[in-house]
Structures are given as structure tokens and as C-alpha cells.
Amino acid sequence: RMRRSPVECRPDIDTFTPGLLALYESLRPSEEHKSKQQQLVDSLAKSVSKEWPNAQLHLYGSSANSFGTSHSDVDVCLEMEIGTASTVEVLVRLADVLRADNFDNVEAITSARVPIVKMSDPGSGFSCDICINNLFAVANTKLLKDYAQIDQRLLQLAFLVKHWAKLRGVNETYRGTLSSYAYVLMCINFLQLREPKILPCLQAMEHTYTMTVDDTECAYFDELHQLQDFGAENKESIAELLWAFFDYWAFRHDYRRGVISVRTGSTISKQEKNWTTRVGNDRHLLCIEDPFETEHDLGRAVDRQTIRILKEEFERAAALLQYNNDPCVALFEPYDHEN
């Protein structure tokens, strides 16, 4: 499996850019979709305020970070004083309130790392995840949204990668692959590492924005108007970048020693994070540092079997873009690794 890919992409790769951009446009949510989402948020706010008048409602995840497609769910975080009650008690109460207000399929999922209530909106049919006081998610949502405004190639690349990951069955953390959030961080880090750079490292710049969550400072530079031309010197097209992204993850990333880190805009070492893999140990095979919860490895669900699947999928995608005459069909062909 030491197959190597050529260092440069094919000379005619740009012929695929129009097709990829058309696909990207088709994935963007419509105005109608956005207004339905807003209706869901409004009716949720109304339900919540009856029981908790001081609760603040924040949208997070792809409905707020600009990486949402027309298939994305709605993620909501409630910020509220809960006194001596536990988060789980509040969520169970919230589930009762939502059921009484006729939301569908209401379910409290209290055993997850971040406990949530899941429900769907009978009006729009959208599904919605609600968590309580998880302000890290609110902070990382703003960070992703701000990165997306610096160079449009980030949104284009991330939409295509997320779409590919969903169809190829490698966007399922419960099966040992990666979350959408992890893929977006991989795209950001990849664009921070291009020469010339397409994205800066906002956390390494002067801190113009700070939000403190559980004693952790989430701080970075957010005066985006100063960064409008940041990536202009780099002329790479979306086809070239998509190929280079897959090529990077198939052949160039140092899985044995490296941790990708948007926080530093570089690849840092597993050793310095103490994320080393011992023999027979399945952890930390593909490491992605969370930008704010830096103890948190977003690749932690990946095991020996799924890392093999991921690498095969990265190699397949890179090879299709390199050698196929019409790569887009096969690239996004649905596949289920379980069967």
C-alpha cells in the first residue's frame, strides 16, 4: 500500500472546476430553506421562554457557521442559569415542554458526551438538536463562520468534502469515522498550509475577540475587513485544491507523528500533546486538535479498521481526480462500507 501519487496534479485539472462549482452551488441552502429554519427557531424560542424566561437561544453548527447544506439539521444551544439542577434534569424537563407543544419525535439523549434533546419540527420537517450551556460550540461556530468569510475557496472546498464524506459513508462518528466539524477543520488547516497561504491563523494574531468558557479563553482576530485579500496571491482553482486535499490526506500527512492544528496553523506533534499510540492501542490514529478545547482530539473515534477505510477513500478520490476523464460521477458515488 505504499503507492505514491505524483507530486503535481494533471495539467488539465481546471476543466473540472466549472462542474465542481455548479455542484457547490446546488448544495447551498435556498432562501426558502433558511426562512423555514428561522420559523423553527422562533417557535422553539416561544416554547422555551414560557418555562425559562431568561434563557438565551444560540444557533450553532452548520445552520450558523455558513457550512450548512440544504440537508443539514438545526443545532441550538440554550444558555441559561440552571441553579442546582443538572443539565440532564433540565433536558428531561425541556423534552416534556416540547412534547406538550407538539414537536415531533422528541427524545432526550442524556448519555452522550454532550447531552441533547433531539426533535423534529412538524411544520418544516427539519430535525433539531438542542444542548444546554455548551458555549464552546457557540465559540467554534463563530470561528468557522469567520474563516469562511476570508476566502470563498474554503466554503467551496468544505461543501464538496462534506458532500463526498456523506455519500462515501465516512461522515459517521458512531461508526468510527469523522464529524462534519472535523472535516471543516481539516479544510481550514489545509488552506492555512498552502504556499502561498489561502487562510491565516486567526488565533495566532492579535486577539480582537474573546469569549471565556469554563475558564478557557476562546480568543482570536476577528476584524475580517482587514483580511479581504488575504488569499489573493494564491491562484489555485477549486479542482486543484480538491485534488491536493485528498492527495494530502492520502499520501502526505504524517499519521504517525502529526496532529493537525487550526489553533497554530500548522501540524504539531502527538508527543507534545501526549497523544501517542501505544502498541495494540487504537487511539489517536488520526489526530485533529479542537481549536479551543485543545485536550480534545476530534479524530478519537477513528480505529484501526476505520483509518484504513479513510485512507482508501482519500486515495480513491485523489486517483479519480488525477486519472479519470469524468471524475465527478465516481467521486460522489454512494457507498456503504458495512456491506
User: d(Cα 159, Cα 187) in Å, to the nearest integer?
Assistant: 10
What distance in Å separates the CA atoms of residue 251 and residue 2, rounded to the nearest whole number?
Answer: 9
Q: Which is nearer to ligand 3AT, 148 or 320 (CB)?
A: 148
Identify whether 196 is preceded by a cis peptide bond (ω within 30 of 0): yes
Task: Tell me: does residue 61 bind Mg ion (CB under 5 A).
Answer: yes
What one-character DSSP code corresponds to residue 140?
H
Q: Binding marks (x or -) toward Mg ion, 228..257, rule CB under 5 A?
A: ------------------------------
Q: Which is nearer to ligand 3AT, 37 or 180 (CB)?
A: 180
Q: Under the criterion CB under 6 A, does residue 177 sit at the interface with ligand 3AT?
A: no
* 79 DSSP β-pair partners: 56
In the complex with ligand 3AT, which residue's Cβ is closer, 108 or 301?
A: 301
User: For Mg ion, which residue has the nearest CB?
Assistant: 61
The entry of Mg ion, ligand 3AT, none near residue 137 (CB within 5 to 8 angstroms by kind) is: ligand 3AT
Region of 52 (left: φ > 0; alpha: ψ -120 to 50; beta: rest) is beta
Binding of ligand 3AT by 77 (CB under 6 A): no
Q: Out of 14, 23, 43, 73, name the contact with Mg ion by CB under 5 A.
A: 73
Least distance from ligand 3AT to the Cβ atom of residue 144, Å:
7
Q: Which residue, among 242, 240, 244, 246, has the nearest Cα to 313 in the 3D structure?
A: 246
Is the Cβ–Cβ distance between 289 and 268 less than 8 Å? Answer: yes
CA distance 190 to 203: 16
- Residue 149 binding target from Mg ion, ligand 3AT, none, CB below 5 to 8 Å by type: none
Across the strands, what pairs with 60? 75
Edge-to-edge strand order for the sheet containing 266-269? 266-269, 258-261, 287-289
Residue closer to ligand 3AT (CB basis): 187 or 319:
187
Between 16 and 159, CB nearer to ligand 3AT: 159
Regarding 140 and contact with Mg ion (CB under 5 A), the answer is no
| Sole binder of ligand 3AT in the list 37, 180, 203, 261 (CB under 6 A) | 180
Residues of this chain, 101-140, that bind ligand 3AT according to CB under 6 A: 136-137, 140
Which residues are CB-neighbours of 280 under 8 A, at least 6 positions away? Answer: none
Chain residue at closest Cβ approach to ligand 3AT: 61
Strands across the sheet containing 104-109: 56-60, 74-79, 127-132, 116-120, 104-109
Part of the chain binding ligand 3AT (CB under 6 A), chosen from 4-12, 62-70, 220-228, 315-323: 62-70
Rounded CA separation 7/10 (Å): 10
141 binds, among Mg ion, ligand 3AT, none (CB under 5 to 8 A by kind): ligand 3AT
CB-based contact 315:3 (threshold 8 Å): yes
Give the integer Cα–Cα distance in Å for 34 and 32. 5
Based on CB atoms, which residue is closest to ligand 3AT, 13 or 259? 259
| 8 Å CB contact between 251 and 4 | yes
* Choices 73-81, 141-149, 230-238, 249-257; region in contact with Mg ion by CB under 5 A: 73-81
What CA–CA distance (Å, rounded) separates 55 from 8?
A: 53
Is 120 a binding residue for Mg ion by CB under 5 A? The answer is: no
Contact segment (CB under 6 A) with ligand 3AT among 48-56, 57-65, 78-86, 224-232 equals 57-65
Told to check if 141 binds ligand 3AT by CB under 6 A, we report: yes
Ramachandran area for residue 83 (φ above 0: left; ψ -120 to 50: alpha; else beta): left
The binding site for Mg ion (CB under 5 A) comprises 61-62, 73, 75
The binding site for ligand 3AT (CB under 6 A) comprises 60-62, 67-69, 72-73, 75, 136-137, 140-141, 179-181, 290, 296, 298
